[in-house]
Amino acid sequence: MSNFQEALEQYAAAQHILHKTYPAIDDEKLLLGVISNLLKSIEYTMAEVLEQNNHPVQDSFEAKFQLFRNHIPQNFVNLINDLQEIKKFQKTSSVDFRRQGKFVMCGENYNLKYLQAKDVQHYLEQVKDLLDHSLGIKNRKA
């Protein structure tokens, strides 16, 4: 299976979690699963675009991102940075909990970060735009 097909599968999984599983279970912690799937989708997309542009294979997300950012507009760079920041903040947060339809993460010095379904829906739409943009890059090279 190609990297781009893997990217589309990860995107579809994120979409399914947000639109089917989350409403049925009503657990905001699932929103982190959506973010994780979106990041995996982005990573597969980066690998595909870099491969198409004859860049050497990179193992780490950061290494791929440093090369990939030269092929995409700034709004997609900001999107990827935002998603990575959410994941990193959650990993380092000392406490996380659900409250009033939000997933709340508490970091050092009691910094709070909130994640809610409408934010994740916005990220989902932006990742779809990134996939479409990357497919355009891929098709130009083919």
Q: Is the pLDDT of residue 135 over 90?
A: no
3-state secondary structure of 103: strand
Q: What is the spatial distance between Cα 53 and Cα 113, in angstroms, rounded to a whole number?
A: 37
Confidence of residue 139 (pLDDT cuts 50, 70, 90): low
Give me the pLDDT at residue 138, please: 61
Q: What is the mean pLDDT of residues 106-129?
A: 94
CA gap 109, 81 in Å, rounded: 22
Report the alpha-carbon distance of residue 3 to residue 45 in Å, rounded.
Answer: 6
Query: What is the pLDDT confidence band of residue 82, given thresholds at 50, 70 and 90?
Result: very high
pLDDT at 11 over 90: yes
Mean pLDDT for all residues in the chain: 92
29 and 99 Cβ atoms separated by less than 8 Å: no
Is the CB of residue 82 less than 8 Å from the CB of residue 75?
no
Q: What's the Cα-to-Cα distance from 112 to each of 25, 28, 52, 77, 99, rounded to whole Å?
A: 24, 15, 40, 23, 12
